[in-house]
Structure 1
Amino acid sequence: MKNTGILLVLFTFTIFTNAQNQNNVEDHQVQLGLPMPAILYEKALGRNTTATMEFVTGFGLRGCSGCDTDFGIYPVLRGQLRYYYNMDRRLDKGKNISGNSGNYIAILLAYQDKNPLIGNLMLSESVLGVGPVYGLQRTYRRGFFYRLEGGVGYSQTQDDGGFALLLAARVGWAFGKRR
């Protein structure tokens, strides 16, 4: 009985260890983005699935002839649940998947506050957006990455709601141990 228990523990440990190594996505990574400053943390949840939290700054500018020009830099918080659907195909073709280089579909939740961090352009309302997005992300050897994503979702302010385009483009550097 004692040997059976030891074998069961070893078998379970082996399966757990192999399951951890079979992920196509990185266990975790941090990205610093541009052109507007952004920081993103991405954590593996499964073989091809990750969760992300991103703090981004958004920019607004308003001006006209005969009036003052106002600007604002706003905080934006974004969360995503991503499924990278082409990782196995990329591996079969000998392509890079390090830094989660692949195409994904995701559910996006984004919140932009109406109060600027810097500047004097006050938005009339904060905005909450949610919806599906399609994206692609490529990370290169020294950590440089780019990401493009887009979709159609629903946005809500205090007084109004409706369909909205959910678009994002980012370049920057990814940090963390990569494949």
Structure 2
Amino acid sequence: MKKILLLSFSLIATTLFSQEKQTENVWRINFLNPGVEYEMSTGNTSTLSIGIGLGYSVSYPHTDKTVSSSGAITSFNPFLDIQHKWFYNFDKRKNKGLNTTNNSGNFVSARFLTRGESLFGNSNGTDGLDFAVGPTWGIQRKYGKNFHLLFDMGPIYYFDVNGNGYYFPLMLQLNLGFDL
């Protein structure tokens, strides 16, 4: 617990006392999970990312009503994804001559994700909306003129509008797209 508190304090101190503003405002179009995202600078080394779109996902355990299902339970849902990211390696990347453009760096974040009812797939899922919250660790990079890659992972707590909630040890996210 002390390590988590120390890491949190270090991230906040780094964000507040960094000498140079290093984050940028960036619009993105993602094509792996089709959508649009806006990442806005909230501090020297922090951003708030808001994305909407149509995402492919696997049902969370305990939420699928198809008891006799076999194989992967897939779903295509409209989503709203909000992440507050704290970048921690901009200076190290710059010192090595690596790119930090469009917030290329490693980060930890607080993530909130909500999905609407499945549009198609083999999942009955939850009624209406479900939500997920949790911390993540991730990387994002800009390659070439404007190609964007984001990968992050972390534990989540997910719940639905009926009051059902569960903990899931690892949620993964992969986004590929273009910075505008």
Shorter-chain TM-score category?
A: 0.7 to 0.9
The match for 1:5 is none
What's the % identity of the aligned pairs?
25
SS for the counterpart of 1:88 is helix
Residue identity matched to 1:84: F
Tell me which structure has the larger Cα radius of gyration. 1
Compute the RMSD of aligned alpha carbons: 2.6
Alignment of 1:27-106 (within 5 A): 28-59=25-56, 73-106=76-109
Shift of residue 93, structure 1, vs aligned partner: 1.2
TM-superposition CA deviations, 1:19-43 (whole Å, max 9, x none)? xx931111x1111112221211000
1:124 to 116, 120, 126: 126
Asked whether the 8 Å contact 1:60–1:121 carries over to 2, the reply is no
Residue identity matched to 2:177: G
Q: TM-score w.r.t. structure 1 length?
A: 0.73
The match for 2:111 is 108
Where does structure 1 lack aligned partners over 5 or more consecutive residues? 1-20, 64-70
Shift of residue 131, structure 1, vs aligned partner: 0.4
Asked whether the 8 Å contact 1:81–1:107 carries over to 2, the reply is yes
The match for 1:169 is 174
Q: TM-score w.r.t. structure 2 length?
A: 0.73
Shift of residue 153, structure 1, vs aligned partner: 1.5
Misfit runs of 4+, over 4 Å: 60-63, 118-122
Where does structure 2 lack aligned partners over 5 or more consecutive residues? 1-18, 60-65, 67-73
Alignment of 1:147-158 (within 5 A): 147-157=150-160, 158=162
Shift of residue 59, structure 1, vs aligned partner: 3.1
Q: For this pair of structures, how many residues does the alignment match?
A: 147
Shift of residue 121, structure 1, vs aligned partner: 6.1
Compared with structure 1, are the counterparts of its residues 89 and 169 closer, same or farther at alpha carbon in structure 2 (3 Å cutoff)? same
